[in-house]
A and B are shown apart, each in its own frame.
Chain A
């Protein structure tokens, strides 16, 4: 990732090592940031309390304390559980997250993998986590876990469709699946001949943006779509039997994925690493880009968590009705409308 930033040619292996380090930072930094800023602090302030205050200034060291706590917890595998499946489930969930971060471009040359199938690849690997969650639910051999796992699978596949179909509108406009080229298409685009801020697709694809945001809220099982882990009905859903580090791994996976999905939304609809006023070919973007994208990630995930703290949980039937009877028909209409406008104009 820092290859062209330093303007040196590196061998594949050293380049890949740098990319892996960059990838770890790009996964863990937003995940930790989101948990501290939104889950610990913003939620507390919205509920008229202070949140963590003891560990470090304003509780900023709370995360480290939490990890230390989880490390010391006993690792319990239920006697009747399907042992291998139970233990492998967190791996599958985290693999999905690690593959998902790959497609995010952080600058014109600062990317992990420049796949031509970019967004398509992202949609494909994002659904791998469904398998991990089903494994967790099935392997635990507990009624709560099984119900939670099946609920999660039903929800994730139902909202996968509006998400994929919402992305299609952007693909039609940009004419490419490559994430970096989508950014360039937005940076070099114009709206009705006005070329001031490029064409961030949130302006032309606002329907797609709304669909995408609802869909990723559900994909991340954030409230109001948190039926799979509904604590008043299912204790903790598919997480019921997990303790200690394995539980923490699911937790990391959830928030890391929240960060990556926000990043994908930022790239697709807000112009990714591009800021208006600086030509997208400028070399400065390899330094500035990651910061800009990080800012946009926090903006989008701020929206996600704002919804999370504001709305009460849906019922299972309301959830499926929203996906199949509203979001999917609207998404299909959006595709047809975008296609017509693209061809006619």
Chain B
């Protein structure tokens, strides 16, 4: 196996260790902790009164707008990383190219800003 694959095998092992460790801790706990379920205990907490209505209620649309904006800028960051690493090789050419790229994205942010998308209402 190449070193490249091997290092990702280690990554997978660490992920597995996390799962096993958490499972082990919860497993050990199950021998110690009491289990006396009651109806009142299992209801959702709503400051002491009986919960009202459906729990999965609608929430503010703003979160969705910000999630969309996030996708836009996260994709941008993905493209900037390889450029940032190789900038010394690209020189002025790379600099101008990236300036144009960032300018277009700033334009997008400015548009969202102008449209009032960044305002929390």
Residues of A within 8 A of B (CB): 12, 16, 19-20, 23-24, 71-81, 90-91, 94-95, 97-99, 101-102, 112-115, 120, 138, 140-144, 146-147, 150, 153-154, 157-158, 160-161, 164-165, 168, 171-172, 175-177, 235, 240-241, 244-246, 249, 316-317, 320-321, 324-325, 328-329, 332, 335-336, 339-340, 342-343
Contacts and interface: CB of A to CB of B under 8 A. Distances in A.
A182 to B, nearest CB: 11
28 contacts: A23-B14, A71-B29, A74-B35, A75-B26, A78-B43, A79-B42, A94-B22, A98-B15, A99-B18, A120-B81, A141-B55, A141-B56, A142-B44, A142-B46, A143-B51, A153-B63, A154-B66, A160-B74, A164-B77, A168-B81, A244-B33, A245-B29, A249-B22, A320-B120, A324-B66, A329-B109, A336-B99, A343-B92
Interface residues of B, number: 68
Contacts of A73: 33
Interface string B40-51: 011111110001
Interface string B95-121: 100110010011001000100001110
Contact of A94 (B18, B29, B95, B109): B18
A168 B80 contact: yes
- Which among A81, A90, A328 has the highest number of chain B CB atoms within 10 Å? A328
B5 to A, nearest CB: 11
Contacts, number: 195
A76 B41 contact: yes
B119 to A, nearest CB: 8
A120 B82 CA distance: 10
Contacts of B77: 161, 164-165, 168
- Which among A19, A90, A235, A332 has the highest number of chain B CB atoms within 10 Å? A332
Interface of B: 6-7, 10-11, 13-15, 17-19, 21-23, 25-26, 28-30, 32-37, 39, 41-47, 51, 55-57, 59-60, 62-63, 66-67, 69-70, 73-74, 77, 80-81, 84-88, 91-92, 94-95, 98-99, 102, 105-106, 109, 113, 118-120
Contacts of A172: 84, 87
- Which among B33, B44, B84, B95 has the highest number of chain A CB atoms within 10 Å? B84
A141 B42 CA distance: 11
A112 B8 CA distance: 11
A164 B77 CA distance: 7
Contacts of B98: 336, 339
A55 B118 CA distance: 49
B49 to A, nearest CB: 12
